[in-house]
Structure 1
Amino acid sequence: MGIELAQWWPLGRWGVASVLASYMSVSGLKKKSLNRSGAMAAFFVGLVSLGLSLRLGLTLILFYKSSSILTKVGFERKAKLTDDYKEGGQRGAAQVLSCSLFATILAVHHTVVTGAGDSLVDFESDPLAGALLCAYLGFYACCAGDTWSSELGVLSKTPPRLITKPWKTVPPGTNGGMSLMGTVASVAAGVVMGAGRCS
């Protein structure tokens, strides 16, 4: 009876993490943004990230939800541009883990180092913990930038230009092709992810 509420919070946090991770994976499966293996991978990274830190977990959710929404923007045109286009994206485990596994490892390492996952960036008191938090955010900002620029840049009415041959135009969706719309989308992704982490 004398046990404080704070002592129960770690258990409660993992319970909340389990519910949110289940919702993310099931929702992704129903909306076809994930296939079965992708849903299982999303549950794993969601559970670990949210269980270790609500703040870090919300960063993951912001990346996942925003990317899922943009995947559906202009889907009819994307289907015509890409032969292997799948409705909603239907990302598999390999795609999910390539955009989250490294960050999940950083989250685990940060928790081991600090003993608490919800700490703020403070380079003066703990440079290593601050670096790990910045690396975590930077990873998702890069992933979001890549995803946003790909999903929106392919819809640009101006043909992209190849970065290896700056003035050569290439078909939308070509690897290495850049458009103004895609570049702006990438910058916006970084701003949104950073603002989400700081809120």
Structure 2
Amino acid sequence: MIRRALTLLLTALVLGTAAAPAQAATYRYWSFWDRDGSKWTYATVGPSVSVPSDGDVQGFRFTVSEDSAQAAQPRGEQTFGTICARTPERDGQKRVALVLDFGTAKDAPSGETPPRLRTVCAQVPEDATTAEALAEVAKPLRYDSSAMLCAIEGYPSAGCGEELSKGRDKGKDTDKSQSKSTNDSDNSPSLGLWAGAAGVAALGAAALWQSRRRRND
């Protein structure tokens, strides 16, 4: 009878855990993109490591998403020829076309209005990184202690890769004021699952104690 009760309890705990899927976290951040012809692809390295070539088009988009696969791409179809049309070639330097998309009002932090999308041609030394090109034309920039890009031209004025949670009342994302860089490693097991396992162990110990007591009687 005790063994049957333990089996039923364990089954209920497993089913209860499976019935409560974890809600994926979303983040508000600046995403970084490379342009290949007419197609945007999410950059595989950060702007401080990326070294674009003369004639490249790169973009930044302020967005809210779970991961890079769901991040919104920079808008517009401007080409290098259009963006850098008024910037003549210069020896020892390269031209990098940058698309700065500050996102939509929906993705903006509370109380802030995103600037309009703009394009700019950065003329920098041949070995310059994307971050250096960006600093040439879009100051002030803001980074966090882990070198994550937090703001372009001062937008947003605060925050950096905040983790957001879904508001139950209004259906809006609410800021949890936590950095993305500190939350990526927080993949600990569910507290409810741990508590359930502990409950089974405790109940099993009690059953064992009761069984031994009966034998002694």
The TM-score with structure 2 as length reference comes to 0.22
Q: Tell me which structure has the larger Cα radius of gyration.
A: 2
Which structure dedicates a bigger proportion of its chain to helix? 1
Which structure dedicates a bigger proportion of its chain to strand? 2
The TM-score with structure 1 as length reference comes to 0.24
